[in-house]
Structure 1
Amino acid sequence: MKRRLIICADRSFPRGDAGANRILFMAKALQETGWDVFVISIGRNEEKYYDSSRGCYVYEGVKYKNIDVSSNRFFRMIQHNFLDGKNAVKMMQSLNISSDDVIMLYSSLYSFSSAVISFANSTKCKVACDIVEWHQPFQFKGGERGLRYKAYKKFFEELVPKTKNVIVISECLDRYFSSVGCHSTVIPIYVDTDNRKPWHREIDSRHLNLIYPGNPYRKDDLLSMLQAIEMLDDVEKEYVRFHLTGVSKSLLYSSVPGNERLLDVLVDRGTVLIHSWMEYDELLKLYQKIDFALLARPVNKVTEANFPSKVPELMSKGIPVITNRVGDIVQYLDDGEDAILYDEPTAEACKKAIQRAIGLANEERIGLSKKAYENAELKFNYHLCSGKLDGFFSEMR
């Protein structure tokens, strides 16, 4: 058995978002090489996962315990900004952390991270940060002058490099942290393809069904996607169905400021369908008839550094993506085989990519779906990162 590794995260585990999935799959990958992994996270504990023999919660073989959170919004904000880090330290102390242990920090919050790193230094155990974003001022209220951005900048540029050990999600981030003297390794998004259902695809010959899941606010370019669809001719618009899932209309409005009318027009004519809330089973049924995910992204430091979790997740369900070339994700995709790629981050280029999809015969759409499903296992199965993660933590400074 190798040493114990504590993953300390300021988010809900084992379910909640892409971050929770990343933590789960990294933990399982490390367990395969003998690491004793324990996750400390933030959120409500579910009693059905409690293992009395181990004195902790266990999900898919991964041991964890959540720091309980207040249901009161005001007190939760106080916890988040001032207490979560201290509570994480208390939990690590209860685990009798020593210099033989390793800590992996998953957070971009300065207060949480500084508390965990200070504790790691006091116990002389090695600590590494997992960095999945390079946030920019335009993503924060107040921009460069805002307190939240200033705190994030201090975390990113001062706190993280002091650990000397960084896992990053992209080559863009790897270049930066290598340039400031860090030991770093690239671990993109991975998924679990072991227990998924066999590939199956329903073709709707009357429509080309596209999907964008989640909230595009200040990261993906929803406006270009809508403009591209609006630029199609009437026959093409009648053929296309663009499904937006998981967010309210008001949040979609905030993603296209000044262009709310465009969204309304496309919704009114039935080209865009908004599914604000869906039960998971309903979402899976919708996935069965989706031909492509549509993902237009601006070209900036945020998208160059990020690795969109939507793409591997949807590919594992047999849904190829239409996207522009930005960031590491395109290195994992093959145009015309398991994706449709385009170059310029413009509505015109996006429109032409959609027209390529419209022009495909049913057999070709089925072929791309099957290849996306197969390549998800070949390119994104979490087992692929076991050796790399093991090597990184074994060679920490």
Structure 2
Amino acid sequence: MKRILYVSRAGLPIDATGLRIEQIGAIYEALGYHIHYICNRRIDDTIRNAGYEVVPTKTLLEKLNKNEYHFSIENKIYSYLPEFQGGKINALSEIIEIVCASKAYHRIVNYCEKDKPDAIILYNDVYALTKKLIKYCKRKNIRLLADVTEWYEKRKNATVAEKLVICLSNYRIKKLDQHLDGVIAISHYFEQYYKQKKVNCVWVPPLMRTDFTVAPLKYNYNERKGVINFIYAGSPGSKDILLPFVLALMEVNKTGICCRLDIAGIADSYFEKIGMHELRSYGIYAHGRLTHDETLEYVKRADFGILLRKNQRYARAGFSTKFAECMSMGVPMICNKVGGTDNLIDSWENGILIDDYKAETLVELLLKICELDLSEVIKMKVNAQQDAVKYFSEKVYRKQLYKLLRGDSEIE
């Protein structure tokens, strides 16, 4: 059987990164490849409590490292590093590994000698592992691809480790990736960047493993009683912007609830720390951290999703998973213009584009949305889901990913 090693600092499909590599892997599985996910991440309680069973030591295959933790899902194997032992020396060793990737390299080579893979896919590698594997893979005639989803911005409050990742990743993108056999780019921004460098590249946004049967017309709008439902899923911080929307909604709802906002990812305490209390009286419900399935239940009931980001490179180079999930479930997105994910929106047709996220802009937007006829909302929801089928279905990218792995000189 043909084999692929998929290497990332994530693993099981329990977060956005895990879902991403599973989605790409599923396409290659359908094309006849066996996927072994090499997780450059240490096992922890989050992984242990995710509901997946560790492969017992006595049943491990000969090719699997018995000092690691392995999970088996159908025909896929996920291999994690042992837990972090703590201490300053071990912490320093982790930082050195970010720079040198010596342990990661020898680990991959060991698996290559046993697995005999046809290809290796590196998900957002820092730098050193890519550099070492470029030479190794050429000697062994192994295709080396990158799945690129992030172009990090410098941050003042970043830790030493985070600063190293940001700096080295940027250098890898600029200097090393052009020597790879191919790149899977999450955004059109990355796709254009790599094609300018004459790199064989395929655009693959976040994919939805669904048959897209969640019909926007399925929900009983009479239960809304004239209230427009909004959903935000995530944790605002270095990427997303949420506070201006919350303030605008409070302004619109101060004389009566015409909009409701469900927030999955942060709790009321997040707002209480900045002096905002009793948000539910304004139609704002912060539910805290939810499981993925729990979050999707709120997405199903929403009329619009929210994605506001700074006009910076990270927003143009990345692609929000929640954007794809919302559209796939018939929930049109409200985005500000940054030249990234928002480029897929045809404003007031399959979503809504705004010029900025100033309070007055958002208040004006909310008032306009509240005046929409129900048929106009439904039209946008139907259009959003129909466009999602074109953008986020795995079948759309199967041929191109197959050609990329085979090394065809031109990708359609």
What's the TM-score, normalizing by structure 1? 0.81
Question: Shift of the alpha carbon at 1:350?
Answer: 2.9
Deviations 1:253-283 (A, max 9, x none): 8xxxxx923xx15726433221113355543
Say which of 21, 24, 28 aligns to 1:23: 21
Contact 2:11 2:38 in 1 (8 A): no
* Structure 2 residue aligned with 1:172: 189
Question: Are the counterparts in 2 of residues 33 and 387 from structure 1 also a CA contact under 8 Å?
Answer: no
Contact conserved, 2:150 with 2:317, CA < 8 A, in 1? yes
Equivalent residue number for residue 290 of structure 1: 302
In structure 2, the CA distance between the partners of 1:30 and 1:80, relative to structure 1 (3 Å rule), is: farther
Q: Could you give the per-residue CA deviations for residues 174-229 of structure 1, whole angstroms, max 9, x where no partner exists?
A: 23333344222222222112276555324312522211101221112223323432
RMSD (CA atoms): 3.6
| CA shift digits 1:74-129 (9 cap, x unpaired) | 668956863455434433333134xxx22111123335544554543453422111
The number of residues matched between the two structures is 382
**1:105 counterpart (119, 122, 129):** 122
Deviations 1:2-43 (A, max 9, x none): x53322222122x12222222122122223344444332345
CA gap of 1:195–1:355, structure 2 versus 1, over 3 A, is: closer
In 2, distance between residues paired with 1:216 and 1:69?
31
Q: What pairs with 1:1-397 in structure 2 (closer than 5 Å)? A: 3-13=2-12, 15-41=13-39, 42=41, 43=43, 46-47=52-53, 58-59=72-73, 62-70=75-83, 72=85, 82=97, 83-97=103-117, 101-114=118-131, 116-117=133-134, 119-138=136-155, 141=158, 146-163=163-180, 165-194=182-211, 200-203=218-221, 204-232=224-252, 234-235=254-255, 238-248=257-267, 260-261=274-275, 264-265=276-277, 267=279, 269-280=281-292, 282-395=294-407
Name the CA distance, whole Å, in 1 between partners of 2:82 and 2:60. 25
Report the CA distance between 1:385 and its aligned residue: 0.7
Q: Take 1:244 and 1:149, find their aligned partners in 2: how far apart are those partners?
A: 29
- Structure 2 unaligned blocks of 5 or more: 63-69, 98-102
Which secondary structure does the structure 1 equivalent of 2:255 belong to?
Answer: helix
Whole-Å Cα distance in 2 between the matches of residues 39 and 149 of structure 1? 23
* AA aligned opposite 2:373: A
Which amino acid in 2 is paired with 1:201? Y
Where 2:282 maps in the other structure, the secondary structure is coil
> Separation in 2 of the partners of 1:245 and 1:36?
35
Paired with 1:173 and 1:281, the residues of 2 have a C-alpha distance of 30
Q: Using the alignment, how far apart are the partners of 1:249 and 1:130 within structure 2?
A: 36
Q: 1:107-152 CA deviation, whole Å, 9 max, x = no partner?
A: 2333554455454345342211111111111376279x94443333
The whole-number CA distance in structure 1 between the counterparts of 2:403 and 2:19 is: 21
**Structure 1 contact 242–273 (Cα < 8 Å) conserved:** yes
Is the 1:202–1:288 Cα contact (8 Å) retained in structure 2?
A: no
Question: How far apart in 2 are the matches of 1:367 and 1:113?
Answer: 46
Give me the TM-score of the superposition, normalised by structure 2: 0.78
Q: Is the 8 A contact 1:105 1:129 kept in 2?
A: yes
Call closer, same or farther: CA 1:139–1:394 in 2, change over 3 Å. farther
Report the alpha carbon displacement of residue 70 of structure 1 after superposing the two structures with TM: 0.4
CA distance in 2, matches of 1:21, 1:305: 19
The answer as to whether partners of 1:298 and 1:345 remain within 8 angstroms in 2 is: no
- Cα distance in 2 for partners of 1:187, 1:139 equals 31
Distance of 1:49 and 1:369 partners within structure 2: 43
In the alignment, which residue of structure 2 is the partner of 1:256?
Answer: none
Q: Secondary structure at the match of 2:209?
A: coil
Secondary structure of the equivalent of 1:244?
Answer: strand
Question: Cα distance 1:181–1:147, how it changes in 2: closer, same or farther (>3 A)?
Answer: same
Q: 1:195 to 1:229 in 2, by over 3 A?
A: closer
Identity of aligned residues (%): 20
1:138 alignment partner, SS class = coil
